[in-house]
Amino acid sequence: MNEGKTVFSQIMGYFSKYEFDKIVMKYKGNYKMRHFSCWDQFLCMSFAQLTYRSSLRDIEACLNAQPQKLYHMGIKGNVTRTNLANANQNRDWRIYAEFAQYLISQARNLYQNDELENLDLDNIIYALDSTTIDLCLSLFPWAKFRRKKGAVKLHTLLDLRGSIPSFIEITDGSVHDVNILDILIPEPGSYYIMDRGYIDYKRLYRLNKELSYFVVRAKKNLKFKRLYSNKVDKSTGLRCDQVVKLSGYYQKKDYPEIIRRVKFFDADTKKRFVYLTNNFEIPALTVALLYKNRWKVELFFKWIKQHLKIKSFYGTSFNAVKTQIWISISVYVMIAIIKKTLKIEMSLYKILQILSVSVFEKVSILQLLTKSNYKTERHLDPNQLILFDL
């Protein structure tokens, strides 16, 4: 039951402050800090993400406009631009990265039983891709991308069940996508769906040796020798299903084993696609459907760029940028947790829009998102003794 808490306080109630404090102690985030703790910083930055604040001045003005509510929102420190700027500049970004990973593990547990459309697979299915966030090189000199242009890259491994990011690496724009395969820890039995930018046969062979499956779109200059062809139903869009061996000098040296080549024609886009995979058991059409589900990672990037504050930043240092991105990911994951926990049918976008204009309201989140009448519903207070419970 709502006990007079603001919507913002109820949202923050889904974050485990106990786990957050453990991480802060690990990195000594509150060392020599009296008036503006890491938790205060996290709450202010989360408020900025939820309400689309454009600057530190904007955050300060909006929060200080409701001074009587700050304590009940959990913000006990003095909210000023200087405190926020210093915190983003100096507090270790790994605090917020590790806390986001904790939230991600909670969300993945909630969504692990969700089914993928047209795919009858029990394995964990990941989509690996990256998105580039353009920056001004004169303001962000560390974000090297091109000679006169700066950028950071958000490398993401997305769990397709629930569209929850399970792994995120933030680098400057000059880091090539394929290098992320070096720091990725493969999970045996899982599928990794990737675009042509991740073609590196030595790295793909490592996934194969780790007993992981990959589906990757082949490049046009692929050299191979066909060993065997399976029959396909061309009415489904399939054109061939072959067992091949790479014949290029470096290709066969980096990937000495056989590999599966599937060709598919998409009638909607009138395009032909060639896929490579190390799984010889699943139907050829499933290989094409697996790659088709890769679009979910593109939708994830589009969603967070449109609805979270990650295209413009409150600070210019590498630490400030990473801190803001990780807190935005935490907010995204928390909305997904609220949606699943409260069994809300509406989209994440609609939930965020409703919450963004209601953070200071004292109304139950469930009532706000479902339009239910909380006065007619019976809620059990665990602190209240029941007289006739025999």
CB 180 within 8 A of CB 130: yes
Which letter does DSSP use for residue 215 in this model? E
Distance, CA of 222 to chain centre: 32
CB 340 within 8 A of CB 107: yes
**Which tokens go with 48?**
């900025």
Is 242 in a helix, a strand, or coil?
Answer: strand
183-230 pLDDT tens trace = 999 999 999 999 999 999 999 999 999 999 999 999 988 999 999 999
CA distance 230 to 263: 12
pLDDT for res 285: 94
C-alpha angle 281/125/348, rounded to 5°? 150
- pLDDT, one tens digit for every residue, the chain (390 residues): 445 788 999 999 889 999 999 999 999 999 888 789 999 999 999 999 999 998 999 999 999 988 888 888 888 888 999 999 999 999 999 999 999 999 999 999 999 888 887 788 889 999 999 999 999 999 999 999 988 899 999 999 999 988 899 999 999 999 999 999 999 999 999 999 999 999 999 999 999 999 999 999 999 889 999 999 999 999 999 999 999 999 988 999 999 999 999 999 998 888 999 999 999 999 999 999 999 999 999 999 999 998 888 888 999 999 999 999 999 999 999 999 999 999 998 888 899 999 999 988 888 898 888 875 544 444 445 455 555 444
pLDDT for res 372: 57
- Phi, psi for residue 124 in degrees, rounded to 5: -75, 130
CB 40 within 8 A of CB 344: no
pLDDT for res 1: 42
CA distance 63 to 73: 10
pLDDT for res 255: 95
CA distance 40 to 37: 5
DSSP per residue over 116-182, as a string?
PTT----S-EEEEEEEEEEE-TTT-TT-EEETTEEEEEEEEEEETTTTEEEEEEEEETTS-GGGHHH
pLDDT for res 309: 86
Which letter does DSSP use for residue 385 in this model? P
Delineate the domains of the chain, giving CATH numbers in brackets.
Answer: 7-94+335-376 (no CATH), 210-278 (2.20.25)
pLDDT for res 3: 57
Contacts of 9 (CB under 8 A, 6+ apart): 72, 73, 74
pLDDT for res 99: 96
The answer to whether the Cα torsion of 377, 382, 383, 385 is positive or negative is positive
Q: Kindly list the distances between the CA atom of residue 8 and the CA atoms of 71, 163, 331, in Å, as whole numbers in the listed order.
A: 12, 24, 12
Using alpha carbons, select from 34, 24, 21 the residue that is nearest to residue 77.
34
CA distance 24 to 6: 26
pLDDT for res 201: 95
pLDDT for res 212: 96
Using alpha carbons, select from 243, 289, 282 the residue that is nearest to residue 266.
289
